[in-house]
Amino acid sequence: MGRYVKNTELHAGGYAIRVPYSPSAAGPTNPVDGLVRYNETSNKIQYYSLGAWRTFAAEGVVQLTKDTFTGNGTDRDFGPMSFSYNSGDEIRLLVFIGNVFQNPGVAFQVNGDSIRFTSTPGNAQPIVVLHGYGTTVTQN
């Protein structure tokens, strides 16, 4: 009536199991949501969800980076920033002018390593750009 899977890797007193493993190209022909595997090509544990293999994020500390600029009352473009972004990636940044949060995609846009504000920041206004919130890349 039922099916049993014998895991020959789990021995008496063992505290781990071995999940199925294969290179990227050798995955199941018709994967379904909920499958888990170790991808030998990327060396990462993956799960299948919503039509794609996705990687589990590692636990650790995400490195945040801060760029600072100063408004001069004239310029709306500032850079270079520590990282480059594509247009539409504004949501990945926290931006403040004079301690006031700026609405991503409305108050500013990004293009490469530059940031452009919709309104000109005032003279001597501190501009702070915080990076690293749109990633799961961790440091140990």
Give domain limits for the chain.
21-55, 61-139
Dump pLDDT digits (tens) for 14-44: 677 778 888 888 878 888 999 998 999 989 8
Q: Give me the pLDDT at residue 121, please.
A: 97
For residue 8, pLDDT over 70 is answered with no
3-state secondary structure the chain: CCCCCCCCCCCCCCCCCCCCEECHHHCCCCCCCCCEEEECCCCEEEEEECCEEEECCCCCEECCEEEEEECCCCCCEECCCCCCECCCHHHHCEEEECCEECCECCCEEEEECEEEECCCCCCCCEEEEEECCCCCCEEC
Q: What is the pTM of this model?
A: 0.64
